[in-house]
Structure 1
Amino acid sequence: MFQIDSQVETEVVRLLKLKTPLLAIAEETGTDLPEIEKISKVYRVIELRNTGKAVENISNLVGFSTRIVKKILIQKGAKDLKPVNFKNKKPLTRQELRLCFEELYFRFVKALNVGSPRVLRVFKLDAVRIFFRLLEETPTLKTRVKTLMPVFVYSFLRDRGIDITFTHLKKYSGLTRHQSFQMFKKISEEFPKHTTRERKPKIIEYVTTVKNHFLLSSQFLENAAKILEKFWGLLSDTTDKVIAGTISALALISLRRDSPYMLHLCGVLGIAQSSVIYNIKKLAKNLGILGFTTVGRSKDLIRCQILAKVESIQYI
């Protein structure tokens, strides 16, 4: 498509925002006027899309074919586009829905800056196919596209082994934790083949990182693995690193270790300590265990009522 120098484009867009005439921009930047006009049109496409204009309307207003407009929007998705606003809009056509999906997909991919471009393009085709099949199989999801789309893209990329975190989902979707996990449940219950993957080996890799960093015994790793197997169904609705932090904390308690402190453990994994505390508290609640206050004050309760449910776990 358009090959435009990024530095020139940045400067031209800055001047366009200041309402500088195109001829003056050409003189100031030393760029040919046709090139300035091209950048101006691209900038106009992004502006119109951010006001909610449909692709066909943008095409008519700017003078580009709908194919070119789509390519511009997808190419610029991660950097310049605001999240698609679905509020108070008529149901999107399949064409518009696909464009929104691709914009969002590339927003995530470019932010992560991982993987082979060719492989990610192949992944995108697969993601689009599965997404529309999902909508056809469950029409009620069409009314929840705003929530479904980012959660689906996030789940799809994780399913393909891309290291994407919940932080990315929150940042690029604007969804709350509750909204996200409600949709995770919806997808997992009805379409498990599309959203589940073998996550346990990756989680154990994170636990091994903790073990090696703090020079912990092999018993720590064995206990963590047993805890993961026992409580997988209750822990699997959060990120891999938070699960790893949770079972690491529980494994330390099983070994009566007072160090490393949970804060340091979470620091190694790059997660918030509060996430692990919340997960342990939620685990106790789901098991019907009363009396949990804080991890420090509830260690005996954790050993006697939570960890006691894990078969063949080794205590010290």
Structure 2
Amino acid sequence: MNSKKLITKTTLYSLPVTQFNELFQDVSRIINNLKTRYTHTFSLQEFIDTDYTLLFQNRVSALTKAYPDLNYEKLNKDKLLREFRDKKDYKIKIIEKLQEIGKKYGLGEYDITLNSISLILEADSEKQDVNLRNGELFSEFEPFYNELMAIFNFPSSLEFKLECYDLFQNIYNKFKVERFYKNLKKLSPVVIFMFLKMKGYNITMKNLIHQMKLDETEVRRLFRRSIEVYPEYLKKNRKLIVQNQIRSIIDTFQFSEEFGVISEAILDKFWVLLSSTTESVVAGTVCILTMIVMDIKNPPKSEICRSLGITQSAMNYQIKNKLFEKLHIPGFKTINSSRELIKEFIKKNIDV
């Protein structure tokens, strides 16, 4: 007989805020893994309520009754049987994981079951609703803003923070009853990212996900939905973003003022040809072209790429396809082997 106590919302509410938030994140990861494993049409409640062990046993009985000579290998070819077995085994793993999570947050005396997942999600939603009724949306949003700005070492001010909060509030309020999208913990980093991109900050979604330890599938889903309710994001000044990213590279690698002048000339001259890709790739391409014109060999291209979160092949593609092939200039092979050709081409097209 299980002697452990049944966990309740009261127990969850009694946890310190930070501890509860971390517990919620751990449970969210379990849900995300389930959705990834069983597609996004997967129903969490159905998974919790269904006895897959019984379904598995019944399926085995039905198959062996219909086909008495069926061996183990042929049994395994039955798609439905494999599905029931997989879900049966995965359920056991999740329950073990929930028990570990319970011990991690001092809940070892409680019986943490699959039903606890729904309970934790409900508790999180109710805590948010209480905070919002008390007019605490800003105080819920602010810690995420402060953490993100500190991690990326971006300068800030109260005016800048409030402007970012206005965007967050705008997008948040456009979500009516869409509980997933109205989750502050998930939505805040995405909206802050959008705000910083519109302001021309050097930040990529890849870096956001990595530095903030976010779930990539969730972030991209929230980002797409946020753009749907706030299409103004797509009107952002892309050239300004590229200019700011180039300035960030200049500061990071301590390039000279001349580097800034030449890179600006290259950007202006070739913007129409290069701008059909991401801002980071444009910035990286312009920086590499500038380095070639100025005979700068250090830092290596790989460090520029790493700083911008892009690949060297992306820049090679830009220079080859968007410049040399588009302008019908023969002879380009790779950036390294065609440095003199690149230098000659750029110098002919801008005043250096």
TM-score (norm 1): 0.49
